[in-house]
């Protein structure tokens, strides 16, 4: 599932598998379908 988070007054969509943030829900959904991360990777 793609999560939603607000930051800087914008809504971001987060891949719950790897933690990547997207400003476009479709991009996040598409990414997550293809995401093969098995553990969260928090790279800042
Ligand atoms: Zn991902």
DSSP state of 13: E
- Cβ neighbors of 37 (< 8 A, separation 6 or more) are 15, 17, 18
In the reported structure, the alpha carbon of residue 30 is separated from the centroid of ligand 1 by a whole-number distance in angstroms of 9
Low-confidence ranges of the chain (pLDDT < 50): none
State the distance from the centre of ligand 1 to the C-alpha of 40, rounded, in angstroms: 8
Q: Are 5 and 23 in contact (CB under 8 A)?
A: no
Q: Provide the pLDDT for residue 36.
A: 86
Radius of gyration of the chain (CA): 10
Q: Which tokens sit at 12?
A: 């971001």
Sketch the domain layout of the chain as residue ranges: 2-34
Residues 6+ apart with CB under 8 A from 3: 13, 14, 16
pTM of the entire predicted model: 0.73
């Amino acid at each position: 599932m793609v999560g939603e988070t607000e930051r800087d007054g914008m809504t971001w969509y987060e891949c719950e598998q790897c933690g990547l943030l997207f400003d476009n829900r479709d991009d996040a959904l598409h990414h997550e379908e293809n995401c093969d991360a098995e553990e969260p990777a928090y790279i800042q």
